[in-house]
Chain A
């Protein structure tokens, strides 16, 4: 990759989001650099999903600026925003698959939208390997979302998010609802894709294992803004009540344990 590795892919400045009287974000700043896996954590109701929605342009903030790939995202007209949109993929919390299309058709929707005229056979091949890559069984392609389990729906959502080989991936709680084996495989998939494709990942998660396993930096959302950004070690060194409780609670310690001895993890 010829670009400057420290280049900010997502830049959020002074973001303010409010629903009526309820202020969700106030003066929130955030920066995500190229090629990093950036985790966002925070208690329930701290506006993690709202933050993601404002970055991808589904929620218009009251104040503030959002730049993605160096381009301003707020107040853009649809036609211009489209060119930015094809460079990212989004996985919503529930998968958000189109319920009237099969999984294969779901995966093909973004490709058909942005790259017309691709040979149907090649299109099917592309959809097929994306489906297999996201860890779905081979008979899943012809199934409708209602015929899939929650975890499989999530994988199908990932397959669709990866359809355009995006540079930037937004994941809203990707491992929630997956079994531990599936979640670990998913973490591995993200890591490998990042290494191979130079992917930047914006990841909202509550999964401490995911945080430890793949996140380069983590932002903590609290009090309507980002209270801290850094690696887990940097965050652990901070004297913030919620952060300490989050990472040093019983679950946080359990997730941290195998980290110093990766061989033991591989055996388990």
Chain B
């Protein structure tokens, strides 16, 4: 007895008899279905009396012969008949693929969808901002109900734990600026202006910008992923039904912590960049630290620091809001969490840079050169 499924083709009483034998199962279905393709006789009869074992795939094959080629079935045991009936009952036009529209329509609809998404995201963010302000007002009226512990925890995660990486990054950026600046300025014999370059660019722009980017990568993404998972897990819904506002419990502490930490981190980053630049000047350009610090005090106006301290909380707000907003938009599956997290970071950094350009124009206009 062979266990390989096989069939013998005979002509009996004017009809073509396919006598299957062995195991009619998924294991060998590939070969068998190819062989069956090549049978082109009409008026088929399928004989299952020598089949040892048949599974649903085998039954499907028999059912297809019956359905497509009008084969008659003989020699099926009761179990086999039940199985074939089962499979026949399950023969329904199941949709296997999504309907794909033509390419042109797809492109147009994608552009439309993208535009729609962009506008609705902007609108949604605005609405989110409004809802946050309302929650904030609520907290101011009932300060005892506010979760200070949550804010303090975020202080640590967003601020303290980011100190090392932000410090190191700024320090290195300071060295790079000093080095690149020195090479260019040397051509004019104005090497000493490297100090101006380091001082002003770090305090006014780079410190806070690099910090915002780092915070978006570290904390904005974390907010989106945390809130997204909570949303998937129905934790947010549970909170709502208990009567806890997710806005107050989840969003406001995160945004508040980021807003409060950003100026500190931005200032710290600026100082680290100056430190890096100073060390470079000392070692490479032979400018002693005392002179360096003296020059910094002379060339960096106080307004530069004010600019940083004004921009930092705004950037923090945008980064944290983008993270929380995207996190709260998660619906459906785990992939969505990843997608939303990416969007949160991209959106956060993009908005920060756009706003930074506006700030630059604004501060120039009011004379804070």
Contacts and interface: CB of A to CB of B under 8 A. Distances in A.
A138 B335 contact: no
Interface string B288-305: 000000000000000000
A25 interface: no
Contacts of A104: 94, 96-97
Nearest to B83: A196
Contact of B94 (A2, A115, A122, A131): A131
A165 B25 contact: yes
Interface in A120-141: 122, 124-133, 136, 138-141
A133 B55 contact: no
B334 to A, nearest CB: 6
Contact of A132 (B26, B55, B92): B92
Contact of A115 (B30, B333, B334): B30
Nearest to A100: B335
A115 B34 CA distance: 15
Interface residues of A, number: 40
B82 interface: yes
B56 A141 contact: no
B83 A100 contact: no
Interface stretch (A142-150, A174-182, A213-221): A142-150
Nearest to B232: A146
A131 to B, nearest CB: 5
A141 B29 CA distance: 22
A118 interface: yes
Nearest to B64: A125
Contact of A127 (B26, B92, B96): B96
B94 A196 contact: no
B96 A142 contact: yes
Interface in B308-332: 331-332
Contacts of B334: 99
B90 A142 contact: no
A133 B56 contact: yes
Given A192-B86, A196-B79, A165 B57 contact: yes
Given A100-B333, A126-B60, A197-B55, A118 B29 contact: yes
A141 B98 CA distance: 9
Contact of B57 (A126, A192, A195): A126
Interface in B28-46: 29-30, 33-34
Given A115-B26, A132-B92, A196 B333 contact: no
Contacts of B92: 128-129, 132, 138
A31 B34 CA distance: 41
B82 A128 contact: no
A129 B56 contact: yes
Contacts of A147: 332
B26 A165 contact: yes
A56 interface: no
Nearest to A128: B94
Contacts of A20: none
B87 interface: yes
A165 B90 contact: no
A43 to B, nearest CB: 25
Contacts of B34: 119
Interface in A69-105: 99-100, 102, 104
Nearest to A117: B30
B213 to A, nearest CB: 30
A122 B86 CA distance: 18
Contacts of B82: 192, 195-196
Given A126-B60, A130-B90, 6 more contacts: A104-B94, A122-B33, A127-B94, A127-B96, A129-B94, A195-B82
15 contacts: A104-B96, A124-B96, A126-B60, A128-B91, A128-B92, A129-B90, A129-B92, A131-B94, A132-B91, A139-B94, A141-B94, A142-B95, A145-B333, A164-B26, A165-B55
